Amino acid sequence: MPPGVTTRHQLDALRGMQSISGRYLTPGELPRGVGPGIMAQLTELGWAETGQSDRFSCRVGRRITLDGLTNLGESPCPAATAC
């Protein structure tokens, strides 16, 4: 399990959001099994952040952060560039 991830649910949530990491998602758009409680935990840990939803401008959404991607072992930078 990646360092800092404390539960299987948090790790599953990060994996589920991995492919949609650039968008702020409302609770109804989150991957199956990822609810507001898990998203609140990930936000508290710094692995997700809140912002204006991309699809519903009047709602708050959440997305995975670079720290969240790093905890999954995925480089946040393209292979051809150095961060």
pLDDT at residue 29, as a whole number:
85
pLDDT at 75 over 70: no
CATH number for the domain formed by residue range(s) 8-71: 1.10.10.10
Domain boundaries, the chain: 8-71
Tell me: the pLDDT tens digits for 14-67?
A: 888 887 767 888 888 888 888 888 888 999 999 999 999 878 888 988 888 888
Chain-centroid distance of CA 73 in Å reads 13
Buried b (16+ CB within 10 A) or exposed e, 16-42: bbeeebeebbeeebbeeebeeebbebb
Using pLDDT thresholds of 50, 70 and 90, give the confidence band for residue 1.
very low
Q: What pTM was estimated for this model as a whole?
A: 0.72
